[in-house]
């Protein structure tokens, strides 16, 4: 089986020859060849906005490793940047917005960006990558969840206690809802355009949904992700494209996430993969969930932990091997190689004939 089918087939829970593998932030800081480009080009946002550079960075991990998917090198904050909030990245401090959103008037002033002009650099990068790897592996497009994007837009930067957006959530929920609706509208068009330009699967990163209570998560994060899922699933050009939802620390809410109609759920390493499959494996594929810190260990331990994840999921399709969160910047690429090789070595046994449709 060609690798280009393995990832998509697993997302659709159709038979595969082995478990597909890719990992979050696979194009990034842990790679010396990425750091070399960054040294040369400068700022992070500048690299995202240069389609040739973004394409080159996207392809770097594929040249080094035997991976089953590419993910476009970009950032979850391209939408608010295109909305004119004045995004810049300070070294070692993360994102800053010059003009954060603090009231209803500011929300009302926000315009939905045009996907081909304001965000054309993302589309061009996707076209370049698609051209390069269409016959090799599928390309994943992505956006942040509306809630996660809103946390940065309202706080203006990374936050520890999320005091500004949570004050808005508790005191002025209508203002927050209006903001989330605008981001949702933009995200629908954004993913639709990424698909039109060549993305063959899409993922929504909900980095901060896990800081909410169950009720707030449902109302302020999941319901907007669900809107995006419904938008894409109700259009002929996008209905076949698999959608992966990933809420970090969302292990308590897998049933709710599966009920959105997404194709797969990304799960972090605090979730028991076997129990997760019992809970939602009849509805969705599961992506994950090796502790990224396992990559600090010796190759022998990495191999053992990969086997544990594969064994927990068990036989049959519907599993995409991944880390439970983005790779840490200080791990060795050799250890990444050991992880991927272990998936290649041990996963075919879980897809032998007779096991193809899974046995729980």
Active site residues: 25, 29, 38, 75, 152
- Residue 126 or residue 211: which is nearer to its own copies going by CB? 211
Name which of 5 and 296 has its Cβ closer to its own copies: 296
Question: Can you tell me which of 231, 297, 341, 355 binds its own copies, judged by CB under 8 A?
Answer: 297
Residue pointed to by tokens 């810049």: 88
State in angstroms the smallest separation of the CB of 212 from its own copies: 7
Q: Output the smallest distance, CB 103 to its own copies, in A.
A: 15
Count the site residues for its own copies by CB under 8 A: 34
Whether 78 and 16 have beta carbons less than 8 Å apart is answered as no
Residues 214 and 338: their CA atoms lie apart, in Å, by: 38
Smallest distance, Å, CB 347 to its own copies? 19
Among 19, 194, 260, 305, binds its own copies (CB under 8 A): 305
Binding of residue 158 to its own copies (CB under 8 A):
no
Among positions 5, 121, 296, 346, the unique one binding its own copies when judged by CB under 8 A: 296
Per CB under 8 A, the list member of 20, 251, 266, 318 interacting with its own copies is: 251
Helix-strand-coil percent breakdown of the chain, rounded to 5? Answer: 50, 10, 35
Cβ atoms within 10 Å of 99's Cβ, excluding its own: 15
Angle at 93 between CA 87 and CA 96, to 5 degrees: 20
Unique residue bearing structure tokens 């990304």: 266
Question: Do 202 and 244 form a contact (C-beta atoms < 8 A)?
Answer: yes
- Member of 4, 181, 283, 301 binding its own copies (CB under 8 A): 301
170-189 positions binding its own copies, by CB under 8 A:
170-171
Between CA 205 and CA 85 the distance in angstroms is 20
Bridge partner residues of 140 (DSSP): 71, 201
The nearer residue to its own copies, 76 or 271, going by C-beta atoms, is 271
Q: Which is nearer to its own copies, 121 or 162 (CB)?
A: 162
Q: Does 252 bind its own copies (CB under 8 A)?
A: yes
Q: Cα-flanking dihedrals φ and ψ of residue 341, to 5°?
A: -65, -35
Q: How far is the CB of 151 from its own copies (least distance, A)?
A: 12
Paired strand residues for 90: 94
Question: Where does this chain touch its own copies (CB under 8 A) — which range of 9-17, 40-48, 165-173, 345-353?
Answer: 165-173
Greatest alpha-carbon span in the chain: 60
Residue 39 within binding range of its own copies, rule CB under 8 A: no
CA gap 256, 278 in Å, rounded: 14
Q: How far is the CB of 322 from its own copies (least distance, A)?
A: 14
Site for its own copies in 203-232 (CB under 8 A): 210-217
Is the bond preceding 72 in cis, omega lying within 30 degrees of 0? no
For the record, the structure tokens of 204 come out as 């929504």
Residue 269 interacts with its own copies (CB under 8 A): yes or no: yes
Those residues whose C-beta lies under 8 Å from the C-beta of residue 357, and which sit 6 or more positions away, are 15, 316, 317
Is there binding between residue 94 and its own copies (CB under 8 A)? no
Q: Which of 72, 153, 244, 271 binds its own copies (CB under 8 A)?
A: 271
Q: C-alpha distances in angstroms, 149 versus 33, 169, 184?
A: 29, 14, 10
x/- track of binding to its own copies for residues 324-343 (CB under 8 A): ----x-x-------------
Closest CA to 193 of 148, 237, 132: 237
Chain residues that interact with its own copies, rule: CB under 8 A: 161-163, 166-167, 170-171, 210-217, 249, 251-252, 269-272, 291-294, 296-298, 301, 305, 308, 328, 330
């Amino acid at each position: 089986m060609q690798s280009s089918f393995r990832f998509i087939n697993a997302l659709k829970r159709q038979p595969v020859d082995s478990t597909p593998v890719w990992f979050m932030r696979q194009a990034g800081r842990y790679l010396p060849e990425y750091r070399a480009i960054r040294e040369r080009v400068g700022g992070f946002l500048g690299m995202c906005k240069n389609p040739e550079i973004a394409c080159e960075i996207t392809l770097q991990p594929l040249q080094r490793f035997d991976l089953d998917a590419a993910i476009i090198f970009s950032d979850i904050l391209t939408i608010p940047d295109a909305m004119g909030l004045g995004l810049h990245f300070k070294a070692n401090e993360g994102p800053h917005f010059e003009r954060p959103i603090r009231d209803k008037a500011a929300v009302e002033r926000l315009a939905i960006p045009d996907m081909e002009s304001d965000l054309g650099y993302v589309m061009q990068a996707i076209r370049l990558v698609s051209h390069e790897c269409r016959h090799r592996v599928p390309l994943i497009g992505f956006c942040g969840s509306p809630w996660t994007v809103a946390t940065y837009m309202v706080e203006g930067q990374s936050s520890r206690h999320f005091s500004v957006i949570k004050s808005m959530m508790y005191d002025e929920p209508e203002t927050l809802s209006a903001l989330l609706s605008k981001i949702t509208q933009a995200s629908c068009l954004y993913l639709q355009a990424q698909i039109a330009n060549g993305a063959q699967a899409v993922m929504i990163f909900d980095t901060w949904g896990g800081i909410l209570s169950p009720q707030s998560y449902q109302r302020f994060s999941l319901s907007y992700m669900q809107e995006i899922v419904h938008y894409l699933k109700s259009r002929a050009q996008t209905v076949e494209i698999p959608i992966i939802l990933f809420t970090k620390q969302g292990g308590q809410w897998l049933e709710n996430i599966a009920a959105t109609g997404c194709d797969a759920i990304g799960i972090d390493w605090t979730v028991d993969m076997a129990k997760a499959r019992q809970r939602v494996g009849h509805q969705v594929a599961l992506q994950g969930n090796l502790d990224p810190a396992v990559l600090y260990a010796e190759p022998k331990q990495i191999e053992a932990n990969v086997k544990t994840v594969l064994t927990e999921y068990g036989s049959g399709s519907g599993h995409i091997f991944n880390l439970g969160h983005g790779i840490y910047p200080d791990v060795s690429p050799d250890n990444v190689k050991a992880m991927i090789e272990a998936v290649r070595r041990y996963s075919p046994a879980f897809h032998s004939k007779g096991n193809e449709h899974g046995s729980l």
